[in-house]
């Protein structure tokens, strides 16, 4: 069958799962928002050091600039400030890919990328052990959306595929139950209120709040303003919750050292307000989850990475 025949068939009947939710036409978005599967899994798998792992990525700022921001400096005093943490590469997308797969898998750009379905990510390891997971991207129009979206009033970019760590993996996008766990902040807030958040989360604010199309001042203010009530909310900061707030990458002229802080109830009281100069990078994210829940490994750069705990 030719590619043309395949795409005609796809349009007519069965669009491939990996691309079926990319249209931004308002009718297509409305239809998908009304019909696309959304899932809110929960679980209670005991961890060695924590019961919940929350990873939050901000955008494109060198460590020196981020730590000089008043709000991020404040947050650094509320947990363990990681003073030797590095992003993997440039630009954004391969850093997000690396955060869940422990490898960039040859991704070197920010364009629409698909990594073959035989490539696993942390999602496979979490599911094998029954650890619930979800990805939350602010302003994604519906669960499982696979494209880029703009603010419908201003036309400004708000949700982007390249900042969704699981979207490049066919092993996620070919599975409707997995797509259904790539959600927006409406769903996050609903699950928070219902005490139905999962054990493993990855959170990406929109292109304003993550600093990408704004400034470190906006991103810092967002991070402090968003996290402060959550850290006081028992539905979020359950006993032994570990939050990692970091940046996808630094600027291309820097060393790629990025700001990173460990927050939440899993941080021992005696370590609140301390720094840790151990070398960490985005591969530490997979390693930390793997050691905590006995997940095994992806056999990638997670094997030699250092865990936070
Ligand atoms: C968020 O996703 C849900 C589930 O798909 C959808 O019903 C809702 O309209 C979305 N919220 C916004 C603000 O787009
Ligand atoms: C990002 O979200 C904030 C609310 O959290 C909103 O004020 C802002 O307009 C959004 N940015 C875009 C580009 O839509
Ligand atoms: C939190 O969990 C630890 C270890 O399981 C336990 O010792 C402690 O009492 C718990 N604290 C609260 C407030 O539930
Ligand atoms: C820093 O990390 C190392 C390696 O995991 C660990 O051995 C050490 O206890 C940590 N120190 C603090 C203050 O958290």
- Most ligand 4 atoms within 8 A of CB, residue of 261, 278, 291 to mutate: 278
pLDDT at 237 over 90: yes
Cα of 94 from ligand 1 centre, angstroms: 27
Is 213 an active-site residue?
yes
Ligand 3 atom nearest to 265, measured from its CA? 1
The tokens describing 130, both together, are 């029954």
DSSP string over 282-299: THHHHHHHHHHHT----S
The tokens describing 156, both together, are 């400004």
Ligand 3 atom nearest to 239, measured from its CA? 1
In the beta sheet, which residues pair with residue 149? Answer: 159
Cα of 309 from ligand 4 centre, angstroms: 7
Hey, CA dihedral for 289, 183, 228, 155, is it positive or negative?
A: positive
Q: What is the distance, to the nearest Å, from the Cα of residue 178 to the centroid of all Cα atoms in its chain?
A: 14
* pLDDT tens sequence across 17-48: 999 999 999 999 999 999 999 999 999 999 99
What whole-number percentage of the chain has pLDDT above 90? 94
CB-count burial class (<10 Å; 0-12, 13-18, 19+) for 124: middle
Cα of 268 from ligand 4 centre, angstroms: 12
* pLDDT tens sequence across 101-124: 999 999 999 999 999 999 999 999
Let me know: does 294 contact 128? Beta carbons within 8 Å.
Answer: no
Let me know: does 40 contact 134? Beta carbons within 8 Å.
Answer: yes
The H or E element containing residue 179 is helix 176-179
Average pLDDT over residues 152-170: 98
Ligand 2 atom nearest to 207, measured from its CA? 13
Nearest to 302 by CA among 293, 84, 292, 289: 289
Average pLDDT over residues 89-112: 98
The active-site residue, picked from 71, 213, 248, 302, is 213
pTM above 0.75, yes or no: yes
pLDDT at 5 over 90: no
Residue 16: the pLDDT is 80
Residue 14: the pLDDT is 52
CA-to-CA distance for 279 and 284, rounded, in angstroms? 9
Residue 3: the pLDDT is 46
Nearest to 136 by CA among 25, 236, 262: 236
Q: Any idea where the domains of the chain sit in the sequence?
A: 3-293
Cα of 131 from ligand 1 centre, angstroms: 24
CA-to-CA distance for 79 and 264, rounded, in angstroms? 7
The tokens describing 132, both together, are 């619930």
Let me know: does 307 contact 241? Beta carbons within 8 Å.
Answer: no
- Torsion angle in degrees (nearest 10) through CA of 97, 188, 133, 288: 70
pLDDT at 185 over 60: yes
| CATH 3.40.720 fits domain 3-293 | yes
pLDDT at 53 over 80: yes
CA-to-CA distance for 1 and 19, rounded, in angstroms? 19
Residue 34: the pLDDT is 96
Residues framing ligand 3 (Cβ under 6 A): 239-240
């Amino acid at each position: 069958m030719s590619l043309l025949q395949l795409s005609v068939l796809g349009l007519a009947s069965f669009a491939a799962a990996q691309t079926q939710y990319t249209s931004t036409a308002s009718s297509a978005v409305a239809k998908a928002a009304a019909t696309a599967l959304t899932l809110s899994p929960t679980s209670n798998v005991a961890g060695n050091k924590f019961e919940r792992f929350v990873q939050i990525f901000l955008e494109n700022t060198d460590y020196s600039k981020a730590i000089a921001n008043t709000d991020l400096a404040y947050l650094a005093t509320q947990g363990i400030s990681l003073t030797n943490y590095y992003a993997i590469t440039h630009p954004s997308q391969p850093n997000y890919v690396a955060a869940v797969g422990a490898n960039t898998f040859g991704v070197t750009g920010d364009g629409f990328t698909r990594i073959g379905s035989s490539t696993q990510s942390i999602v496979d390891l979490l599911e094998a052990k029954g650890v619930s997971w979800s990805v939350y991207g602010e302003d994604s129009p519906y669960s499982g959306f696979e494209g880029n979206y703009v603010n419908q009033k201003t036309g400004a970019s708000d949700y982007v595929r390249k900042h969704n760590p699981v979207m490049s993996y066919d092993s996620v996008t070919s599975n409707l139950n997995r797509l259904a766990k790539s959600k927006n902040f409406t769903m996050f807030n609903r699950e928070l209120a219902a005490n139905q958040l999962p054990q493993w989360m990855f959170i990406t604010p929109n292109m304003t709040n993550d600093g990408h199309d704004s400034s470190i001042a906006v991103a810092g203010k967002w991070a402090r303003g968003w996290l402060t009530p959550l850290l006081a909310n028992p539905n979020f900061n359950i006993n032994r919750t570990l939050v990692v707030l970091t940046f996808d990458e630094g600027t291309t002229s820097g060393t790629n050292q990025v700001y990173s802080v460990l927050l939440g109830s899993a941080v021992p009281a005696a370590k609140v307000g301390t720094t840790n100069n151990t070398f960490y990078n985005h591969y530490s994210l997979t390693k930390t989850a793997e050691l905590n829940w006995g997940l095994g490994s992806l056999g990638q750069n997670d094997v030699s990475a250092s865990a936070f705990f």
